[in-house]
Structure 1
Amino acid sequence: MTNPLHPILMAKPEGPAEDGQGAAVAEKEELALEPPRLFQVVMLNDDFTPMEFVVFVLQEHFRHDIETATQIMLKIHHEGRGVCGVYTKDVAATKVELVLAAARQAGHPLQCILETA
């Protein structure tokens, strides 16, 4: 009958390892992790996209309640731009694409951009 264990796994260490000589201790290095950079999703004002559509997009894609969505929409309307949310780069880029796709599908020229926070 053959031994099911691999011969390398069964081999005993050779040399002076049993008396502690030559043994090495691996120290765990602490990684300096930085939080991911954040990006703002910003909607820009135009004279053609209905305010109701902007509120809808803010509720649908950014999960704002009606009051918050309305306040952001008014900021966009009066100041020319408004921050919809702050996210990591991948999430923010996805939100921008979703907003632009929804605007295109609805036939509105709504613009949405990504900026560093």
Structure 2
Amino acid sequence: MATKDDNGTALVQREQKQEVKPPPMYQVLLLNDDYTPMEFVVAIIQEYFNKDRETATQIMLKVHRDGKGMCGIYPKDIACTKVELVLTHARKAGHPLQCVMEEA
């Protein structure tokens, strides 16, 4: 927006910059159950969260020991998609594996 001062000189006002906050991030968690095979959980982590076998095994063991384990942190849409993919795959394979997301 331009205005003129008393001498006719054009003055340009700077717009105040709005502070842009990054979008909230969500962690995707697998929850322990007594029925889903450990090997299936490792395969899910490798396939949907792009972890190597060793890392996937460590996450699976955390799920087994602590009741839940974090597979990754993502923007909301991606986290939601990953949860749905994992749940769909688990149900098709006949496993009750639970996958949830929480704001990080």
- Using structure 1 for the length normalisation, give the TM-score: 0.77
Return the letter of the residue paired with 1:89. Answer: K
Q: Which runs of 4+ in 1 moved over 4 A?
A: none
Structure 1 residue 24 displacement after superposition = 6.4
From the CA coordinates, give the structure whose radius of gyration is larger.
Answer: 1
Q: 1:92 aligns with which of 79, 83, 87?
A: 79
Q: 2:25 aligns with which of 38, 41, 44?
A: 38
Structure 1 residue 82 displacement after superposition = 0.3
User: When you count strand as a share of all residues, which structure comes out higher?
Assistant: 2
Task: Note the 1:1-117 alignment, pairs <5 A.
Answer: 21=8, 25=12, 27-117=14-104
| CA RMSD across the alignment | 1.7
- Using structure 2 for the length normalisation, give the TM-score: 0.87
Identity rate, percent: 59
> In structure 1, how many angstroms separate the alpha carbons of the residues matched to 2:83 and 2:48?
9
Gaps of 5+ in 1: 1-19
